Amino acid sequence: MRRSKTDRCDAALRLLHKDEKQYSPDTDMITIKSSLAAEAELSAESSWWDLVRDPIERRKVIYSAGALVAQQINGIQWFYYFGTVFSKAIGLDDPFLMTIIVFVIQVVVVFIAVLFANKIPRRPLLLATTAIMTVSIFIVGCLGIPGGEVSGTSGKVIISFVIIEITAFNFAWGPLGWAIVSCLFLFVTFRSLVNAILAGI
């Protein structure tokens, strides 16, 4: 519809509603057209600079960017990309197997997080997992000092805490970082509307 291909839009809508025998796409097409017109009108009055100039939009950008920076700044990606090299450096017999185990744990924990993480209040969950990750990375850093000889026992302790950190990250910050961003946009917009209404009263 955006590209003025109304026939293809009509066909796509009919395909989506093929189980509804009485369906007519006319109402949906009018809705889509009006939504596109409203979007075009709004985009004509706005620019990318509004993300910086407008105080409400600026707050959204800062909060959401902050949440995504917090999600990545803990260095978790380093374990994913260089885990095999790291495992070899700390003297593990089969670094590749360790990497496979880490990825399997990641997939399983994300699945569990999708099922259960939203049933736990986000703030305590994020604070608890951040504390676990902080302790884990501190222990890994202390035991795996570059240039030093790492004993077999230290290597096992290091990799254990790497797994604990990855588990904590994937249960909270991994999936919830994106949820926080979308919720922040809604929350800041809603709060700004309430403040404007209260100011008007």
* DSSP-derived secondary structure for 86-151: HHHHTT-S-HHHHHHHHHHHHHHHHHHHHHHGGGS-HHHHHHHHHHHHHHHHHHHHHHT-TTSPPP
* Ranges assigned E (strand) in 26-94: none
Question: By the 8 A CB rule, do 180 and 121 touch?
Answer: no
Under CATH, what is the fold of the domain 51-184? Growth Hormone; Chain: A; (1.20.1250)
pLDDT the model gives residue 63: 80
**Distance of alpha carbon 121 from alpha carbon 125, whole angstroms:** 6
pLDDT of residue 200: 67
pLDDT of residue 68: 78
Contact in structure between 136 and 168 (CB atoms under 8 Å): yes
Residue 6: other Cβ atoms inside 10 A: 13
Q: Tens of pLDDT along the chain (201 residues)?
A: 888 888 998 999 989 888 888 888 888 899 999 888 888 887 777 777 877 888 877 887 888 788 778 777 777 777 777 777 777 777 667 777 777 887 888 888 888 888 877 788 878 888 888 899 889 888 887 776 656 666 667 777 877 888 888 888 888 887 777 777 777 767 666 666 666 677 765
- How distant, in Å, are the alpha carbons of 9, 23, 34 from that of 28? 10, 10, 10
Total count of residues recorded for the chain: 201
Q: b/e for 43-60, b at 16 or more Cβ within 10 A? A: eeeeeeeeeeeeeebebb
Cβ proximity of 165 and 51 under 8 Å: no
Q: Where are the domains of the chain?
A: 1-45, 51-184
Torsions phi, psi for 123 (to 5 deg):
-60, -55
| pLDDT score, position 126 | 82
Helix then strand then coil, % of the chain, to nearest 5: 80, 0, 20
